[in-house]
Amino acid sequence: MHAYLCRNTKNFIARVHRINLTFVLLNELRQKIYTMKILVCISKAPDTTTKISFTDNNTKFNEDKVQFIVNPYDEWYALVRGLELKEKAGGTVTTITVGGADHDPIIRKALAIGADGAVRVNADAGDAYFTAKQIAEYAKDKGFDLILTGKETINYNGAQVGGMIAELLGQPYVSIASKLEVEGQTATLERDIQGGVEVVEGPLPMVVSCAKGMAEQRIPNMRGIMAARTKQLEVIEPAEVKSLTETVSFTLPPEKGSVKLIDPDNMDELVELLHNEAKVI
Amino acid sequence: MSILVFADAPKGKIAKAAYEAVYYGKQIADKSSSTVTVLTYGDVSDSDLAALGNYGATKVLVNKNIKEDNDEQLTAMGAAAVEKEGAKVIIFSFDPLGKSLAPRLSARLQAGLVTGATELPEMDGDNFTVTKSVFSGKAFSKNAIKTEIKIISLMPNSIKPVKGGETAQVESFTPDAAEGKIKVKEMKMDSGDGIPLPEADLVVSAGRGLKGPENWGIVEDLAKALGAATACSRPVADMDWRPHHEHVGQTGIAIRPNLYIAAGISGAIQHLAGVNNSQTIVVINTDPEAPFFKAADYGVVGDAFEVLPRLTAAVKKFKANN
């Protein structure tokens, strides 16, 4: 009886091993065919409700009491779409940020949302070219299938980094994309053009700047936040790059004079003012 | 030396922003004793191209073999034109095509780029600085371009072209430029009668105060009477009352029309960010404490459902008499 059980157990274990092995092989095969390696560029931005002011003779943004967030386009669209594609096809999502240690909290937020790992290029960001070149230098020999950025940052509104990375890596670039689907090695996208949208198709690898419509915001849950603490945040030193432009100073828009109130029953007066005073109609 | 202006002509029609970019280029050319060469592609008529002379172009280079906005191919064409013309300043519009191409060309030529320029550059000896909109319309920054070749991408509606009388010389320009890897499958243009929002001089916008998408008729009536584009606030786009491309604000698009009329929008700081560079702002709201009134030039404290039709009638009356 004992011997019988033993033999059966051995058989059973061998069978489990075989099944496991098949699983592993299948998984490896699947990963070989479909796995996507995605890099998402993450930058730091002041919260959208921030009242903007400047210091040091209007040469520096006043960070006092400012709450920093992940740039919304990077987070809501680029990162979340990257995660969705990875969940569908298998693979990894890595974030990359150019900045000092003060960027770590927003990088942890991206990890909490679900990125597998993060890289920070330890440098005070210069201009968009400086940032793009750092990212391109990191990415050039890593074989990423997709590099995703937000369509712009809400602080500099440059809309430059994605296109520059694409050029530096010799890859195609699809800007202001509101849809991104990947099938094998082909991506199909929708992007904004003047007066409409365009459906485009191209082979991976490519660089995409992501806009509204691509994904829905994800709120990190407690498990994600706990897991983010132990995920790897690799800090690397910057390549030597010179910025091509430099911000000299900032100004605030001129204060509006007080509003002129018009009687809601007298719209003729409003039209008259828009014509003769404001001269806009 | 010349100023090279990359003009977009989607579906063969030169974009309004492109005329502005040409005129902007001409102002720089006049200050630096140079001339403006325009670069474009696609099925544009030679007479339309020659008429770019009215905005300041001396020469127009057109590549009619390229039909699609392919980033790699157009960047290669741009670089070839820069070399041929010995261009030192390159102007794009800060519109979808400019956002796609200007960064590529900047990286290729190692030429400093400032996007979203709102004013003419200041040129003084070796100093070349450009003012641009930052913090989503809440501020401006002045940026020095430190490279020999300079690229500027101009915010639409930042300059009002004045037409002159000459015509430009039109040349075919078909440099070797390998086709890029991105292929256009389909173009879905917005319905024909609407005015593209980023280019519109006049904009009528509405928010949650309109209570539902079925009530947008009064907004569209006013827009039609004025010849204005329609826009909306973020909640309205998020609830799918209106299409997303109408959403103006911090996470939508930033616009700077001559006239922005906002009905039933309270004026959250994120919304103001997208519109506070408008020349004139009219706010219609039932709540006299709505923050938007602080940013407005003209205010109407009243119900949009009553005020909008009255305003439409007043506009029609004005148009009939003028």
Q: How far is CA A237 from CA A96, A136, A165, A168, in A?
A: 13, 14, 18, 19
Q: Where are the alpha helices (DSSP H) in B143-249?
A: 217-226, 234-238
Residue B47, marked binder: no
Quote the minimal CA–CA distance from A131 to chain B in Å: 12
Q: Which residues of B touch A172 (CB under 8 A)?
A: 71-72, 180-182
The four Cα atoms B127, B128, B131, B136 give a dihedral, to 10 degrees, of -110
Domain with CATH 3.40.50.1220 in chain B: 197-320
User: Quick one: pLDDT band at residue A31, thresholds 50, 70, 90?
Assistant: low
In a mutational test of the B interface, the residue from A76, A160, A244, A262 whose CB has the highest number of chain B CBs within 10 Å is A244
- In chain B, list all ranges with CATH 3.40.50.620: 2-172
Residue B258 DSSP class: S
With tokens 């209570």, the residue in question is: B211
Report DSSP letters for A180-243, one per residue. EEEETTEEEEEEEETTEEEEEEEESSEEEEE-TTS-------HHHHHHHHHS-EEEEPPP----
CB < 8 Å from A in window 238-267 of B? 244-245, 247, 250-252, 254, 258-259
Q: Is B208 annotated as a binding residue?
A: yes
User: Cis peptide leading into A205, omega within 30 of 0?
Assistant: yes
Record the pTM.
Answer: 0.89
Q: Average pLDDT by consecutive 10-residue portion of chain B (322 residues)? A: 92 91 97 95 96 97 92 97 97 95 98 97 94 91 97 94 91 92 88 75 96 96 95 94 89 90 94 91 96 95 97 96 88
Triad B99, B104, B105: Cα angle to 5°: 105
Task: Say if residue B269 carries a ligand binding annotation.
Answer: yes
- The superfamily (CATH) of domain B197-320 is TPP-binding domain (3.40.50.1220)
3-class DSSP assignment, residue B232: strand
Is B266 annotated in some ligand binding site? yes
8 Å CB contact between B268 and B248? no
In degrees rounded to 5, what are phi and psi of residue B136?
50, 50
B110 and A CB contact within 8 Å:
yes
DSSP-assigned states of every residue in B87-112:
EEEEEEESSHHHHHHHHHHHHHHT-E
So what's the pLDDT on residue B322? 85
Q: Rounded to a whole number, what is the distance in angstroms from the first to the last CA of chain B? A: 46
B2-172 is a CATH 3.40.50.620 domain = yes
Q: How far is CA A230 from CA A41, A99, A111, A172, A237, in A?
A: 20, 21, 10, 35, 22
Q: Which of residues 50-109 of A touch B (CB under 8 A)?
A: 51-52, 54, 72-73
User: Can you give the pLDDT at residue B165?
Assistant: 74
Average pLDDT (A173-186) is 95
Interface contact A129-B112, CB threshold 8 A: yes
**pLDDT tens, position by position, A91-110:** 999 999 999 999 999 999 99
Which residue in chain B has the smallest CA separation from A132? B107
Establish, for the pair of chains A and B, how many residue pairs have beta carbons separated by less than 8 Å.
277
What is the C-alpha separation between A123 and A162, in angstroms, rounded? 19
User: Among residues 9-28 of chain A, which lie with CB inside 8 Å of chain B?
Assistant: none
Please name the residue of chain A whose CA is at the shortest distance from the CA of residue B298. Answer: A260
Token pair, residue B321, equals 């008499």
State which residue of chain B sits closest to A196, comparing Cα positions.
B189
Is B305 at the interface with chain A, CB within 8 A? no
Put simply, whether A160 touches B (Cβ < 8 Å) is yes
CA distance B197 to chain A (A): 8
Contact A68, A100 (CB under 8 A): no
* Residue A28 pLDDT > 70: no
**Distances from the Cα of B87 to the Cα of B5, B92, B104, B179, angstroms:** 10, 13, 17, 24
Q: Does B111 touch chain A (CB under 8 A)?
A: yes
- Res. A17: pLDDT tops 90: no
Q: What percentage of chain A exceeds 70 in pLDDT?
A: 88
Q: Do A157 and B116 touch (CB under 8 A)?
A: yes
Q: What are B256-296's pLDDT values in tens digits?
A: 999 999 999 999 988 998 998 899 999 999 999 999 999 99
Give me the pLDDT at residue A14, please.
66
